[in-house]
Structures are given as structure tokens and as C-alpha cells.
């Protein structure tokens, strides 16, 4: 049998408040692993999908047409691995329906592991369109704000209109992301369908201004401007009521020095950006506020320059 290659792909914060569907941030220390090996047959098969506890996953499909990892890997093979057969094992580390880019992490890890099997592997950036095929299946839309940061790491601007090109943004100094995951689930495809189809002109103008200011703040390392611009005035008001602990957690983050705080992707996770020195205390305060609402939770602290997907040892 041929050798297994294992790839790790990190979770990510979609939208980062200011850039709906076009801005994303990679997280460190939490992600999915996908193992890939060549087989004698043609096409992609999924040998197993395991959950966070290591057990076989109760409902994620091993049907290759219904799994984001295999759909992404198959898209890569269709373009660059004619006739090749690949077997995958998917080991989830990112909670499902968490707003942490769970489906993107599986799709990205799958293309990075499968790429290692090709006779002429592609660059990491060139894998983006194939990982997006898996993400599209899961979320029902073409947005790269989880796939792109999971693939290349850091803070990434990825407007649909420029794809497959993406822009890696400069990272401001000494800023961390705190991510709180309440033990709730939000289905991204449903959350996207529920959004208003029209945006008042003034809101659109204001949100554009905030995104431009945020990007300028990152480039100029202007932390004051970063804090003033990190706001979502269009999407968050439509979604925050789906997350029972949202107001309490945001208040706790702000009291602990958050520069800004909003939903991660479509939620239920909530993220804050803050100075490194405030991050641990902020994570505890956000957890405390969430549990006070009767909701179990978990949090992660990550630098803004977390690395993207990579091949790792077979663990």
C-alpha cells in the first residue's frame, strides 16, 4: 500500500466583522487533519471520518459525494491527477456548525494532503479553487473567507470578484484574536439564506468605509484606528439574536479591553481582537459570561499571524 500523507488545516474566523465573505483570519492550535494515500482505483474514497473525541463520526458522511474533504480532493484530481485514485481519512478537530470554518478546514486539509500525492504538486495558493469546491458544497455559497486563511494563514482579503487571487494583509503588532465557542450550533447555509437580500445605501457606504479603514489600520499598524473600524453594521444585527449569550460575551470582552468583538462567521462563535497582554484574561471573562448564561463553552487565543495548512507527521 502507498504511504499516507497527513495535512493539518487550521480553523478560521470568517468575515472578521468588517468584511462579510471577503476577510478571514487563521487560528492557531485548532484545526482538522486529513490523511491521503494513493489507491489502485480511480477517484476519491473516504475510509473514515472521526470526530473530536477520536470516535467514528456519528453523522458526517463517508460518501465521497457528500463530504467537503473528498469533494475538494476530487476537484483537484479532476484538474491535475487524471485517473488517480485516492483514499482519505478525515479527523475533525474543529467543532461542526461553530462559525470556525469547520468545513473549510476539512476541504483545505484534503487538498493539501492530496496535493502531496501528485507527480507535480501545485503551490499552496494554487490549491484555493479546489478547496473552495468543498466549501461551496457545505455553505451553499462561493466565499473564501474561511478557505483562504486556512490555506495560507494570517489575515487574508479574498473578495469573490478577485478570486482566485487573494491578498495577504499586513499583521499589526502585538494583537491577538480570542475565539469563544459556545456549545451551540448554527447552520451556515441556513444563516446565509436568512440574510436580507438588499442593503440600505447608507449602511453599504458605512461598511465599505470601515473595511477600508481596517485594512489601512493593519498596514499602518494603527491600533486606535483598528479598534474604531472593527465593526459590522449590516450582518451582525441580523444574526446576533441566534446566539443567546452574544450580548453578555461582547460586554465581557469590551470590559476586558477588546478592540472589537463580533460573530465569527455565521456564529455561534464570537471573536475579539485585543492586545496580546489582555488576551488570556479576556478569554476567561468571555467564558465566564457565557457560562453565566447557562451555556458551556471553550475558548482559544491565537496570534494574528497563525500559520496556514501544512503537511505534518502522521499523528
Q: Which residues bind ligand HSE (CB under 6 A)?
A: 14-15, 20-21, 99, 101, 143, 145-146, 188, 191-192, 265-266
- Closest contact distance (angstroms) between CB of 110 and ligand HSE is 18
CA gap 40, 113 in Å, rounded:
17
237 CB-near residues (< 8 Å, 6+ apart): none
Minimum separation from the CB atom of position 102 to ligand HSE (A): 9
Q: Which is closer to ligand HSE, CB of 256 or CB of 266? A: 266
In whole angstroms, how far apart are CA 95 and each of 17, 131, 186, 299?
21, 19, 11, 12
In the complex, the smallest distance separating the C-beta of residue 293 from ligand HSE, rounded to whole angstroms, is: 22
Q: Which CB atom, from 238 or from 277, has the smaller least distance to ligand HSE?
A: 238
Query: Residue 167, exposed/middle/buried by CB under 10 A (0-12, 13-18, 19+)?
Result: middle
User: What's 39's DSSP letter?
Assistant: E
- Copy the grid coordinates of residue 182: 459556545
149 vs 227, beta carbon nearer ligand HSE: 149
Residue whose Cβ sits closest to ligand HSE: 265
Taking the complex as a whole, how short is the minimal distance between the CB of residue 1 and ligand HSE, in angstroms? 36
CA distance 262 to 59: 30
Residue number, 99 or 149, with CB nearest to ligand HSE: 99
Q: Which is nearer to ligand HSE, 96 or 311 (CB)?
A: 96
d(CA 122, CA 112): 9
Please, what is the minimum distance in Å from the beta carbon of residue 281 to ligand HSE?
27
Amino acid at each position: 500500500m502507498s504511504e499516507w500523507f497527513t495535512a493539518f488545516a487550521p480553523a478560521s474566523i470568517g468575515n472578521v466583522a468588517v468584511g462579510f465573505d471577503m476577510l478571514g483570519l487563521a487560528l492557531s492550535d485548532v484545526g482538522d487533519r486529513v490523511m491521503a494515500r494513493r489507491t489502485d482505483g480511480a477517484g476519491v474514497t473516504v475510509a473514515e471520518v472521526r470526530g473530536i473525541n477520536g470516535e467514528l463520526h456519528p453523522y458526517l458522511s463517508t460518501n465521497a459525494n457528500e463530504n467537503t474533504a473528498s469533494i475538494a480532493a476530487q476537484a483537484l484530481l479532476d484538474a491535475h491527477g487524471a485517473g488517480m485514485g485516492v483514499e482519505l481519512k478525515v479527523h475533525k478537530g474543529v467543532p461542526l456548525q461553530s462559525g470556525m470554518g469547520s468545513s473549510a478546514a476539512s476541504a483545505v486539509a484534503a487538498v493539501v494532503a492530496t496535493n502531496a500525492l501528485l507527480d507535480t504538486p501545485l503551490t499552496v495558493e494554487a490549491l484555493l479553487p479546489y478547496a473552495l469546491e468543498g466549501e461551496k458544497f457545505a455553505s451553499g455559497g462561493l466565499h473564501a473567507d474561511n478557505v483562504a486563511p486556512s490555506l495560507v494563514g494570517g489575515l487574508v482579503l479574498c473578495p469573490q470578484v478577485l478570486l482566485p487571487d487573494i491578498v495577504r494583509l499586513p499583521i499589526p503588532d502585538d494583537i491577538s484574536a480570542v475565539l469563544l465557542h459556545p456549545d451551540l450550533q448554527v447552520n451556515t447555509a441556513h444563516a446565509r439564506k436568512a440574510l436580507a437580500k438588499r442593503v440600505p445605501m447608507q449602511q453599504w457606504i458605512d461598511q465599505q468605509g470601515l473595511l477600508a479603514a481596517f485594512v489601512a489600520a493593519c498596514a499602518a499598524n494603527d491600533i486606535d484606528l483598528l479598534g474604531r473600524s472593527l465593526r459590522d453594521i449590516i450582518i451582525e444585527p441580523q444574526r446576533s439574536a441566534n446566539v443567546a449569550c452574544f450580548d453578555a460575551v461582547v460586554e465581557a470582552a469590551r470590559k476586558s479591553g477588546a478592540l472589537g468583538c463580533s460573530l465569527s462567521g455565521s456564529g455561534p462563535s464570537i471573536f475579539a481582537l485585543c492586545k496580546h497582554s489582555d488576551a488570556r484574561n479576556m478569554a476567561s471573562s468571555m467564558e465566564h459570561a457565557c457560562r453565566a448564561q447557562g451555556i458551556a463553552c471553550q475558548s482559544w487565543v491565537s496570534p494574528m499571524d497563525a500559520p496556514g495548512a501544512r503537511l505534518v507527521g502522521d499523528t
